[in-house]
Amino acid sequence: MKKYTFAVLSVLTLLFASCSASKTDKSAGDLFGTTWELEYISGPRIAFEGLYPNKKPQITFDQKETKVFGNNGCNGYSAPYTLSGKKLTFGEPGPTTMMFCEGGGEQQFVKQMSKITSYSIDTDGKLILNEGDVAMMRFKKVAKQ
């Protein structure tokens, strides 16, 4: 009877451990395979629609290349990122095609990206980019890749 109880407890322990690992891995996996569109940015005193009158910034994480790419509300960009658990930082964006952008949102977006230290995904599936404990940007999913 002791062997049977031990075997059942061992199997349950392994099952519980594998489920916990899957939940942890899924959180980071939610970043990938999705294009995220900005819906909130902290800092500017201009209304969000005024910052991005024509196009909202988007970000896509390339897990293999460890780069992000998208648009900053006007011009395209790509930048390296470093991800360790929930800690997230972005490197300098590479060269982009520069055209004049209305509203000043492009500079605000790039400035905020350089301050990011971590991320989270809330219960509504929104991507939150944080500076310390402060939510600096919030994105919604717009497309699966």
**For the segment 106-135, what is each residue's pLDDT rounded down to a tens digit?**
888 988 999 999 999 999 999 999 999 999
Place of tokens 């990206």: 113
Q: What is the pLDDT of residue 75?
A: 85
The answer to whether 80 and 94 have CB atoms below 8 angstroms apart is no
Nearest to 31 by CA among 82, 75, 74: 82
Please check the confidence at residue 24 and state whether its pLDDT lies above 70.
no
Q: Identify the pLDDT of residue 74.
A: 82
- Asked if pLDDT for residue 91 goes beyond 50, the answer is yes
Q: Which residues of 61-85 are buried (b: 16+ CB within 10 A; e: fewer)?
A: beeeeebbbbbbbbbebbbebeeee
Place of tokens 């994105």: 139
Highest mean pLDDT pick, 11-25, 48-62, 85-99: 48-62
CA–CA separation, 129 vs 118, rounded Å?
Answer: 6
pLDDT at 3: 57
The beta-strand segments (E) located in 19-133 are: 34-41, 58-62, 67-71, 76-84, 87-90, 118-121, 127-131
Question: Pairing state of beta strands 76-84 and 87-90?
Answer: antiparallel
- Region 68-81: mean pLDDT is 90
Give the CA-trace dihedral at 132, 57, 60, 24, to 10 degrees: 30
Band of pLDDT at residue 100, cut at 50, 70 and 90: low
Other CB atoms within a 10 A radius of the CB of residue 45 amount to 5
In this structure, the number of other CB atoms found within 10 A of the CB of residue 31 comes to 19
Rounded Cα–Cα distance for residues 107 and 144 (Å) = 27
pLDDT tens-digit map of 31-70: 999 999 999 999 877 888 888 888 899 999 999 999 999 9
